[in-house]
């Protein structure tokens, strides 16, 4: 389970990737480098299945540009720090919702300032959603207050208009006045997957998959849920990457 902030480094130069990883290790031990890539293709495969908190993204990659990569996604929930040797790319980086950008060679103080800015953004984003995460727990706001719940104990989440129902291992339900999307961006880091517009499931509680046009899953609480046709291939691929 994730206990640290996760970072992904995408740079066509090994030295550049190593330097960023070293800076993170020395200056920000609470941030873990979970993936490195040198090309658009490698990065796309990873990011289509994972959502790191921070992406360090070099503008010039082996098989294209950072903007080629970003064009493949409708949106990314990650904080993006662009890296470039050319200041002319700064405006384009900003237009692509960059949290910040760093010029090569990377200055240590600029790096620290950028990371602190990103960490503040992450903190604000978690706070603004009304959802907070601490290690393996999530605080679920309710009408009476909140319920501190172990993420391992969440079997699935079900959308109902602007509400979300959490189904827990103790057979209780928690209804929260937040949309499923509000929780999805946080819980996918803990091996949750949205199999349908109504269903976000904990892959650790997946018991069986039944073939079909989209197929169905059976969870450990014996609930049977539809997998949308649009999500089927990504879901089956994701099963191979359960951590």
**Given a cut of 70, is residue 129 above it in pLDDT?**
no
Lowest-pLDDT range of 10-19, 54-63, 74-83, 153-162: 74-83
Domain assignments of the chain as residue spans, ordered by start: 5-128, 132-239
Over residues 111-120, the mean pLDDT reads 88
- Cis peptide before 85, with omega less than 30 degrees from 0? no
Pick the CATH number of 132-239 from 2.170.140.10, 3.20.20.10, 2.40.50.1020, 3.40.30.10: 2.40.50.1020
**Given a cut of 60, is residue 100 above it in pLDDT?**
yes
Nearest Cα neighbor of 54 from 20, 13, 88, 14 is: 20
**Given a cut of 70, is residue 24 above it in pLDDT?**
yes
Over residues 178-205, the mean pLDDT reads 89
**Given a cut of 60, is residue 128 above it in pLDDT?**
no
Task: Tell me whether residue 216 is exposed, middle or buried, using C-beta atoms within 10 angstroms of its C-beta: 0 to 12, 13 to 18, 19 or more.
Answer: middle
3-class DSSP assignment, residue 209: strand
**Average predicted confidence (pLDDT) for the chain:** 86
Per-residue model confidence as pLDDT tens digits over 200-223: 999 999 999 999 999 999 999 999
Determine the CATH number of domain 5-128. 3.40.50.2300
Confidence label for 242 from pLDDT (cuts 50, 70 and 90)? very low
Percent of the chain with pLDDT over 90: 51
What per-residue confidence (pLDDT) applies to 138? 85
**Given a cut of 90, is residue 40 above it in pLDDT?**
yes
What per-residue confidence (pLDDT) applies to 93? 58
Per-residue model confidence as pLDDT tens digits over 137-178: 888 877 667 788 889 899 999 998 888 999 999 999 999 888
Over residues 107-111, the mean pLDDT reads 91
d(CA 72, CA 209): 29
C-alpha of 30 from chain center? 17
d(CA 95, CA 172): 45
What per-residue confidence (pLDDT) applies to 33? 96
Confidence label for 95 from pLDDT (cuts 50, 70 and 90)? low
Per-residue model confidence as pLDDT tens digits over 64-85: 999 899 889 877 889 999 998 8
- 188-193 CB contacts, 8 Å cutoff, 24+ apart: 188/50, 188/51, 189/2, 189/6, 189/51, 189/53, 190/1, 190/2, 190/136, 190/151, 191/242, 191/243, 192/154, 192/157, 193/235, 193/238
- 41-48 CB contacts, 8 Å cutoff, 24+ apart: 42/10, 43/8, 43/10, 43/69, 44/69, 44/72, 46/8, 47/8, 47/73, 47/76, 47/78, 48/72, 48/73, 48/234
CA angle 68/71/76 to nearest 5° reads: 120
Lowest-pLDDT range of 39-43, 112-116, 142-146: 142-146
């Amino acid at each position: 389970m994730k206990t640290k902030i996760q970072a992904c480094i995408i740079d066509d130069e090994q030295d550049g990737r190593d330097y960023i990883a070293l800076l993170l290790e020395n200056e920000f031990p609470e941030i873990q480098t979970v993936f490195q890539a040198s090309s658009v293709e490698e990065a796309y495969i990873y990011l289509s299945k994972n959502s790191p908190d921070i992406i360090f993204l070099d503008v010039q990659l082996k098989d294209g540009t950072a903007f080629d990569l970003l064009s493949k996604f409708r949106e990314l929930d990650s904080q993006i720090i662009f890296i470039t040797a050319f200041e002319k790319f700064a405006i384009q980086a900003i237009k692509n919702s960059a949290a910040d950008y760093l010029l090569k060679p990377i200055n240590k103080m600029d790096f620290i300032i950028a990371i602190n800015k990103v960490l503040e953004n992450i903190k604000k984003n978690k706070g603004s959603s009304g959802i907070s995460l601490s290690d393996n727990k999530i605080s679920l706001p309710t009408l009476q207050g909140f319920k501190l719940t172990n993420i391992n104990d969440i079997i699935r989440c079900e959308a109902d208009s602007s509400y979300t129902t959490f189904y827990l291992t103790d057979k209780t339900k928690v209804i929260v006045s937040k949309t499923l999307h509000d929780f999805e961006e946080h819980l996918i880091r803990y091996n949750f997957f949205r199999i349908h517009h109504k269903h976000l499931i904990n892959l650790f509680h997946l018991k069986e998959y039944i073939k079909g046009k989209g197929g169905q899953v059976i969870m450990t609480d014996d609930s049977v849920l539809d997998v949308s046709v649009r999500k089927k291939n990504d879901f089956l691929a994701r099963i191979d990457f359960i951590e």
